[in-house]
Amino acid sequence: MSICRTALATVALAALAAAPARGAVDPKAAAAVFQEAKTLCTRDHGVFWGRSLCGPIMLVDPNDRGVTANQADPGQVLKEHAGVFTGVLPPAVDLADTPTEWSGLLWTQLLWPLSPDTEQRHVTLAHELFHRIQPELKLSRPEVGNRHLDTLEGRYLLQLEWRGLAKALEARAPADRKAALVDALLFRRERHHLFADAAVEEASLEVAEGVPEYTGVMLGLVTPQSRTKFAIRDLSAFVQSPSFVRSFAYACGPAYGLLLDQAAPGWRQQLHSGRGLGDLLAATVELPATVDLKARVAVYDDGTLRAAEEKREQDRRAREATLRAKLVDGPVLILPLLHARYQFNPQTLLSLGDDGTVYPTLRLTCDWGVLEVDNGALFGKDMSEARVSAAGVDPAAPRSADWRLVLKDGWTVQRGARDGDLVVKASR
């Protein structure tokens, strides 16, 4: 069987984490959101990306899977009501802020309610509308590791880079902007020197998620001042993320995009080169061959950030040891990632180095069925399989306090190669 994975995972933006409790979608409120989306996607008449972001939108109440859409569906599941179209999303369809194929259309799915903050809502709308056309623009990128961003040096240099980018955005004089930008790129260069795969892996996510967030800022907001302010806000808001492994591109995408707009107009046409946003911007300046990095660090950190990151690293090592004992050394249930779709919070991922990445919570849909995880799943480094703890699990009745598994007909849980291990396999 071929192994296929999708990058259309749940993207829970940090600013939405404090959204109000979810509830039924009010038709009038939904119509207002649809009008906002129409205004945003028609604002540039499709010039920004060469085609319009307008298209089918569904707002979904995760409590009862109720759908409120801006148009009818070819499958005629939705019924017109109060100027919108309503129905119920079947259990097989994942709930996420993501492009969703259902009932004959590719929709922009958004979980209800959206942020009450107008600017955040508009950025999110434009971000998610872009995701729907992203594959057609050939700007989709595969899921990659970026596990170096859960290490002490990786995290520290990334945050120094963000501080340099914020300083560049805030600068009024071109010379000050260039100096801060050079600092940011020097911190980036040092990180890529320390971690062999960093440049390639970061470039992939910068395009996959940084470009949509930049698009959200450019089409969701109207003035240069509001765009710059939001980009700086992203750089600070995502510092609070438990992990940067998959969230970092949301933070820096708008900053790099805005700085590229100044330094290299037309840069969006170069995205197919395989380079990331930071690489494209680095090509516009000449970095010194040698530099007193310690002196540059002192400009952005008085020692407080370093101390905080060293404390976090101690805590991470202890947590990693616990997770490794549970998901690597202990008995596990192994699930092949066959045509997998998964929902997760990108801000919570934890790296176990070469053993893979831990997803604390997860909903995984594959050929074999559905797995819902409440307390840790490990994705292998090559993303070909997932593992959950099998401690005390009976293969005849596979269930755990940490996860719930629903298998389709033709699939069973069988004993694995190690004592205590289990594996999901086709029974025919």
Q: What is the DSSP letter of 142?
A: -
* Parallel/antiparallel/unpaired status of strands 369-373 and 403-407: antiparallel
Picking from 286, 281, 243, the residue whose alpha carbon sits closest to that of residue 260 is 281
* CA distance linking residue 217 with residue 30, whole number of Å: 22
Answer for the pair 197, 351: CB distance below 8 angstroms, yes or no: no
- pLDDT value at residue 347: 75
The Cβ of residue 44 has, within 10 Å, a number of other Cβ atoms equal to 13
- pLDDT value at residue 149: 94
Domain edges within the chain? 14-133, 147-301, 320-426
Answer for the pair 344, 378: CB distance below 8 angstroms, yes or no: no
What the block records as the tokens of 396 is: 């005849």
Task: Provide the whole-model pTM.
Answer: 0.81
- pLDDT value at residue 20: 37
For residue 342, which phi and psi values (nearest 5 degrees)? -145, 145
The contacts of residue 386 (CB under 8 Å, 6+ apart) are 334, 335, 337, 364, 371, 377, 378, 379, 380
pLDDT mean for each 10 residues of the chain (428 residues): 29 34 78 97 92 97 95 97 95 90 98 96 98 97 87 97 98 96 98 96 96 98 98 95 90 98 96 93 95 97 98 93 96 94 82 90 93 95 93 92 95 94 91
- pLDDT value at residue 188: 98
- pLDDT value at residue 10: 35
Beta strands in 226-379 (DSSP E): 332-336, 341-343, 350-351, 357-359, 362-366, 369-373, 377-379
- pLDDT value at residue 3: 24
In sequence order, what DSSP letters do the residues of 207-254 get, joined into one string? IIIIHHHHHHHHHH--SHHHHHHHHHHHHHHGGGSS--TTTHHHHHHH
What the block records as the tokens of 324 is: 């490794």
- pLDDT value at residue 17: 32
